[in-house]
Structure 1
C-alpha cells in the first residue's frame, strides 16, 4: 500500500503541470493525442539520457566531490544530456508534424516532453527515496523540468517559423543553452548541500515560476496574433498544407497516395500484419510482467523486494507498451480506406 501511495505522489505533480499546460493552450489547441505522444516521447527520452550519463560517469573528472567537480557534473554530464534528449525527440518526431502550426506549439510540445521526462524520473526517485523525496521534488525538480521546457520551447516555436535555417538553428541553440544553464545551476545548488545552496535553489525555482508565466503569456499573445486575422490564418493553413503535401509525396511515394475531390491526401489501404502481431506480442509481454508483479506483491512481506519488482516491471514495460500503442494505431490507420494524411 505504501508503495502505491508513493507512486501516486510521484505521478500527481507532473500531471498537474501537464493539465495546466493543456489549459493554457486555448487559442488553437493541440490534439490530445499529439500531447500524449509528446509526453510519451519525454518518458522514452529518459533511457538514452540515462545511458549517456552513465557512460560519462566513467570519465575521471566526474568522480570527485569538490565544487569544481560538481560544476563539471552539472553542466557537462547532466544538464546538456537531459535537456538535449528532451529536445531531440521533439525535433525528430514532432517538428514537421502538421499540427505544429504556430509559435506557441513549441512551448506546448517541448514542455510536454519535459513533463514526461520529469514524470518517469520522479517515479524512480520517489519510490527509492520515500515521502520526503516526493514532497521535495514536487516543489523543486518538477517545476525545474517543466519551466526549462517552457523556455526552450519558446525558442523552438520561433525557430519553426524562422525565415531561414540558420536563424532557426540559432534560435534552437539559444533555447537549449538557456535550459542547460538553468538546469546546471539547479543541479549545482542541489549537489552542494550547504544551507546557502538550498536558499539559492529555492530562489532559482521561484524565479522559474515567474519566467514560465512570462513565456506562457508571450506564447498566448503570439498565438492570438497569428490567428486573429482570418485571411492570414487561411494563408498559414495553406502554406502548412503545401509543406505537408511535399513531405507526404517524398515519404510515401506517389503510387501509395491518392487525392480526393477536395484536394486532400490519403494513404491507400495496405495491410501491414507485422505491426499488429508485434504490437499484440508487446502487449502480452507487458501484461505478463504486471501479472508477475501482482502475484509477487500479494505474497511479499518485504517492501524493498516489492519496490525492486516494481522497478523491474516499470523499466521492462514502459517502452514496449508505447511501441505497442503506436504500432497498433498505425496498423488500424493503414487498414482504413482513405486514411487522410
Structure 2
C-alpha cells in the first residue's frame, strides 16, 4: 500500500515542483498551492461518479463522445470552474505566471488521486507509464489553462473574455484529443508520442511566455510607483 501511494504521489509532486521552480519572480505561498492541489483532489470523486453514470446509462455510446465529452469536457470544465471561481480572484493570484502554478496544482491534485486509484486497481507496474502519460498530460492541460487565465487577469476588458474562453476551450480540446488517441487501437502509441512531445513543447513555451509577461507586469508596477511619487 505504501509503495502504491508513493508511486501515485511522486509524479504529481515532481511536476508541481518543476513548475514552481520555473517561476522567475515572486514565489507563491506553499500553503495556497497545497490548498489548490486539494481542490483538484476532491474534484476526482464527483467527476468519476458522473462519468460512471454516463457510461452505465449508455448516455455516452461512442469513442468520440467518451473522449471529448466524458473525459475532455467534464474534467477540464470542473478544473476550470474551481480555478476561475476559487483561485482567479484570490489575492495570491497577483502576476501572470501564477496562473500556471495554480492551473498545474488543481490539475495535478485531480491526476494524483486518479493515479492512486488506478494503481490500486491495476498494480504498481503501471506507475511509470501513468507518470509519463496521463499525469504529465493533466499537468500540461493545467499549464495551458492557467496560462490563459493569467493573461486574462492582467489584460484589458476587451481581450479578457476571449482569453477566459480560450482557457477552457483549449485544454478541453487537447484533453479530448489525448483520450481519442488512446482509443484508436493497437497503434495508439505512434500517435501519442508526437502528441505528448507537442504538449511538452506547448507547455514549455507557455512557461517562458508567462515569465516574460510577469517581467513586464512587475516593470510596469515599478514604473507606476515611480510616477506616483
Q: What TM-score do the two structures reach when normalised by structure 2?
A: 0.92
Superposition deviation, residue 162 in structure 1: 2.8
> Where in structure 1 are there 5+ consecutive unaligned residues?
64-68, 239-341
Separation in structure 2 between the aligned mates of residue 57 and residue 174 of structure 1, nearest angstrom: 28
C-alpha distance in 2 between matches for 1:233 and 1:28: 19
Match of 2:7 among 9, 18, 31: 9
* Cα deviations by residue, 1:237-295 (Å, 9 ceiling, x for unpaired): x9xxxxxxxxxxxxxxxxxxxxxxxxxxxxxxxxxxxxxxxxxxxxxxxxxxxxxxxxx
Q: Is the 8 A contact 1:28 1:223 kept in 2?
A: no
CA distance in 1, matches of 2:224, 2:215: 11
Does the 8 A contact of 1:227 with 1:233 survive in 2? no
Match of 1:179 among 147, 171, 174: 171
Deviation at 1:58, TM superposition (A): 4.2
In 2 relative to 1, CA 131–58 (structure 1 residues): closer, same or farther, beyond 3 Å?
closer
Structure-to-structure mapping, 1:154-233, within 5 angstroms: 154-164=147-157, 167-195=159-187, 197-229=188-220, 231-232=222-223
> Any idea what SS the aligned residue of 1:140 has?
helix
Give the aligned partner of residue 113 of structure 2: 120
SS in 2 for 1:60: coil
Q: Is the CA contact 1:226–1:233 (under 8 Å) kept in the aligned structure 2? A: no
Q: Which residue of 1 aligns with 2:58?
A: 60
Cα RMSD (Å) of the superposition? 1.9
Aligned 8 A contact 2:68 2:176 in 1: yes
CA–CA separation in structure 1 for the residues paired with 2:224 and 2:55: 49
CA contact (8 A) 1:39 1:113 kept: yes
* Cα distance in 1 between the residues matched to 2:180 and 2:220: 46
Alignment correspondent of 2:31: 33
Structure 2: segments with no counterpart, 5+ residues: none
2:155 is paired with a residue whose SS is coil
Q: What are the within-5 Å matches in structure 2 for residues 136-155 of structure 1?
A: 136-155=129-148
1:23 to 18, 21, 24: 21
Instruction: Determine the C-alpha separation between the residues in 2 that align with 1:167 and 1:223.
Output: 17
Change (3 A) 1:229 1:149: same
**Maintained 8 Å contact 2:103/2:143:** yes
Deviation at 1:59, TM superposition (A): 4.6
Look up the SS of the partner of 1:29 in the other structure: coil
* Whole-angstrom distance in 1 between the partners of 2:155 and 2:67: 31
Structure with bigger gyration radius? 1
Query: How many residues are matched?
Result: 227
User: What's the CA shift for 1:189?
Assistant: 1.5
Q: How does 1:226-245 map to 2 (within 5 A)?
A: 226-229=217-220, 231-232=222-223, 234=225
Offset at residue 135 of structure 1 (A): 1.5
What is residue 277 of structure 1 aligned with on the other side?
none
Match of 1:304 in 2: none
Q: Does the 8 A contact of 2:96 with 2:211 survive in 1?
A: no
Which one scores higher on RCO, CA 8 angstroms, separation ≥ 6? 2
* Cα distance in 1 between the residues matched to 2:223 and 2:110: 36
Deviation at 1:161, TM superposition (A): 2.1
Q: 1:207, 1:79 → 2: CA distance?
A: 18
